[in-house]
Amino acid sequence: MGWAVVPPTDPSDHRPRRPTFLSLAALEAHGGTHDPLQEIEAAHQTAAVLVHAGRAAHDPVLTARLVALVEELGLSTVADLWAGRPARSLPGALWRLYVLREWVRRDPAEASADYSAGRRFSDVDHIVAGAADPTGPEEVRQLTDAILTGVFEGDLAVALDRAASFCRVVAAGRGERTEGEAAAERAAQLLGTADDLTAAAALWRTEQLI
């Protein structure tokens, strides 16, 4: 699976300052900074601003734009913002959600094949993920859109838990459908991502996900 998430290294443990409100255009501008401390702060600020703005607006149009953030800014810009942050942080968790959605958007047939194969071994995770049954390419696209929509319109912790379950089902399907070391490694990466998303959900519930 080309878009399995490999947990990045953590370049710093500095905590971000209080976030300020930024437009989507300003988010893109943050991707151009080269100061490591500013990059860390920008990552946490933009993640906090994005989540707060989406949850406060109650605006379906804004939510749709936020869900489609990668299409608007480009994956490389979003990566510049968030990919270097710890998996169990708000920007790190958001990065993983957007990468999962982007993989499904680019290869829904492969994603649905993995999901359908894993569904047989992951009844509980299938229920938590909330996918339609049977889960074809369109259904798996709708699922990842719904998970990201939940970040801005529902319970963010539930969205993270759903994404974690999605990863576990896909990992099981990847292991079932494909043999070899590369397939096993990608399945393991997805399981690691699932664990990180579950941990991030627990941190959000205790107001410690920053």
pLDDT per residue over 114-151, tens digit each?
Answer: 999 999 999 999 999 999 999 999 999 999 999 999 99
pTM summary value: 0.83
Give the pLDDT of residue 179.
86
In angstroms, the Cα distances linking 25 to 31, 73, 101 are: 11, 8, 21
Domain ranges of the chain: 24-205
Torsion, Cα 44 49 55 59, to 10 degrees, reads: -140
Q: Which residues of the chain have pLDDT under 50?
A: 1-28, 30-33
Give the pLDDT of residue 34.
62
Which residues, other chains included, contact 121 with Cβ-Cβ below 8 Å and sequence gap of 6+? 172, 176
